[in-house]
């Protein structure tokens, strides 16, 4: 325990005592001062480098540059990390946490002052994390539980943060600092609260997965304000697995979105253009660009389009390593004032008499939807829109290709 504050009490003829977390000090023959010393119990202050062992015996090394680190554990000299508090002193300040013998775990991490980077790739976060003034790099291990990572406004107006996390579940990230890149192994919604990313803008978003059984699913909502950046509010997104139950609301333009797995029960809504969509499969999902906020599922009238935003291209690529799955497109809509080249693969066009498909705003040219090509690798069916000269196009099943 490091004593930072002291005072002298009158002699009372009796000794003080510690009943954690209370310190009892006699100050008169018939009076005592009782202090909550939680903040000072089992606390290690690190300037430079310090080591300790956690509750599992993992050796933890903390290295601080231009920063002070307070580690609060549940036992003297080590144990479970209850709080890890950083006070940065310069824009190039950094803290690195490394381990030997496995991952360690922290119940809370707080950062105040100026800090450039916090690198703790083998530290799993079990609670909240508060970052008062932003930073440029954040690297953690796995993050789980109904908790929040909260990042404040950066000291430099044009600063942005790069975030790398392991496996994520039931987390909310709220940041006033733009995100240059966000990389996770996967982000799962297990039914709890959270699963939301809220930021001014995101340059690149990745759900990478790993080769051994983790395909890289993404199940989080996305809310981007589009402030402080002339570039797209979402520069690009690449999801190695499925995107399920996600609601994305993007103010501004959106770069290319790539989902190698299936997009299901999701909505992507942008106020500006979407540069492109490459989806392994799509089911019960909607993509809207420049469509009024209150419009559900797809545009139904010319008034539903509030600007000339476009979806530049759409490609359904099919699913790899998915034996038994032969249908890759069903009950999914694309709405924008104009839509570029569309490629559909192995669709289920029977949707119980509920129409779905492509919706664009008429300008009188008839080319507001550039082209649609369809291939069914099971039946051999092929068609294209607009049809070849002399042919008449009839949309199959409940599919519609509509210029409103």
pLDDT tens sequence across 309-318: 999 999 999 9
Which two structure tokens, joined as six digits, stand for 26? 């006699």
The pLDDT value given to residue 392: 85
| pLDDT exceeds 70 at position 227 | yes
What pLDDT sits at residue 213? 85
Query: Rounded to an integer, what distance in angstroms lies between the CA atom of residue 13 and that of residue 240?
Result: 70
Stretch 48-63: mean pLDDT: 97
Strand 43-46 relative to strand 67-75, pairing: antiparallel
**For position 38, what pLDDT does the model report?**
58
What's the rounded mean pLDDT across residues 131-140?
A: 95
Write the pLDDT tens digit of every residue in 358-395. 999 999 998 999 999 999 999 999 999 999 888 889 99
Distance CA 284, CA 269 (A): 14
Distance CA 229, CA 272 (A): 14
* Percent with pLDDT over 70 in the chain: 90
Instruction: Provide the pLDDT for residue 336.
Output: 99
Q: What does the pLDDT read at residue 41?
A: 59
CA distance 2 to 60: 20
In the predicted structure, residue 9 carries a pLDDT above the cut 50: no
Mean pLDDT of 252-265: 99
Please state whether beta strands 117-120 and 137-140 pair in parallel, antiparallel, or not at all (unpaired): parallel
DSSP 5-56: ----PPP-SS--EEETTEEEEEEETTEEEEEE-GGGTTEEEESSEEEEE-TT
Average pLDDT of every residue of the chain: 92
Contacts (Cβ under 8 Å, ≥6 apart) of 213: none
pLDDT recorded at residue 211: 79
pLDDT at 6: 42
Answer whether 177's CB lies under 8 Å from 136's CB. Answer: no
Q: Is it the case that residue 124 has pLDDT exceeding 50? A: yes
User: Among 13-27, 224-238, 253-267, which stretch is predicted with the lowest mean pLDDT?
Assistant: 13-27
Residue 7's pLDDT is what? Answer: 44
Q: Please, how many CA atoms are within 13 Å of residue 226, restricted to the half-sphere of its CB?
A: 17
pLDDT tens sequence across 278-314: 999 999 999 999 999 999 999 999 999 999 999 999 9
CB-CB neighbours of 191 under 10 Å:
8
Looking at residue 3, its pLDDT comes to 39
Q: What distance, in Å, lies between the first and last C-alpha atoms of the chain?
A: 72
Give dist(CA 159, CA 152) in Å, integer: 12
The band of 42, judged by pLDDT with boundaries at 50, 70 and 90, is confident
The reported pLDDT for the residue numbered 51 is 96
């Amino acid at each position: 325990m490091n004593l930072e504050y002291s005072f002298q009490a009158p002699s009372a003829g009796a000794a003080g005592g510690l009943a954690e977390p209370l310190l009892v000090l006699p100050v008169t023959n018939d009076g005592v001062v009782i202090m909550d010393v939680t903040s000072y119990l089992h606390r290690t202050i690190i300037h430079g480098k310090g080591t300790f062992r956690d509750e599992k015996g993992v050796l933890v090394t903390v290295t601080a540059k231009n920063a002070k680190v307070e580690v609060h554990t549940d036992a003297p000299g080590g144990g479970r990390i209850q709080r890890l508090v950083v006070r940065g002193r310069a824009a190039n300040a950094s803290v690195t946490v490394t381990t030997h013998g496995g991952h360690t775990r922290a119940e809370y991490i707080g950062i105040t002052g100026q800090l450039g980077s916090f690198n703790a790739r083998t530290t799993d976060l079990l609670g909240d994390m508060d970052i008062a003034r932003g930073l440029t790099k954040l690297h953690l291990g796995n993050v789980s539980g109904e908790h929040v990572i909260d990042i404040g406004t950066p000291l430099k107006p044009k600063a942005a943060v790069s975030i790398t996390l392991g496996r994520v579940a039931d987390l909310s990230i709220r940041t006033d600092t733009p995100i240059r890149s966000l990389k996770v192994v996967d982000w799962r919604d297990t039914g709890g609260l959270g699963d939301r990313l809220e930021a001014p803008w995101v340059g690149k978003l990745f759900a990478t997965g790993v080769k051994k059984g983790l395909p890289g699913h993404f199940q989080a909502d996305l809310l981007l304000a589009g402030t402080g950046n002339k570039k797209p509010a979402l520069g690009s997104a690449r999801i190695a697995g499925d995107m399920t139950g996600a609601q994305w609301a993007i103010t501004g333009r959106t770069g290319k979105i790539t989902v190698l797995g299936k997009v299901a029960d999701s909505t992507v809504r942008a106020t500006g253009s979407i540069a492109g969509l490459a989806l392994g499969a799509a089911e019960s999902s909607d993509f809207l660009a420049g469509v009024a906020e209150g419009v559900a599922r797809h545009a139904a009238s010319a008034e539903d389009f509030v600007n000339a935003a476009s979806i530049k291209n759409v490609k359904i690529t099919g699913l790899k390593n998915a034996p038994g799955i032969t249908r890759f497109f069903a009950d999914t809509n694309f709405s924008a004032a104009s839509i570029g080249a569309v490629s559909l693969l192995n669709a289920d066009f029977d949707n119980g008499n509920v129409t779905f498909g492509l919706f664009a705003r008429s300008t009188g040219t008839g080319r507001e939807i550039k082209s649609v090509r369809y291939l069914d690798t099971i039946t051999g069916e092929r068609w294209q829109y607009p049809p070849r000269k002399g042919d008449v196009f009839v949309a199959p099943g409940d599919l519609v290709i509509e210029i409103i």
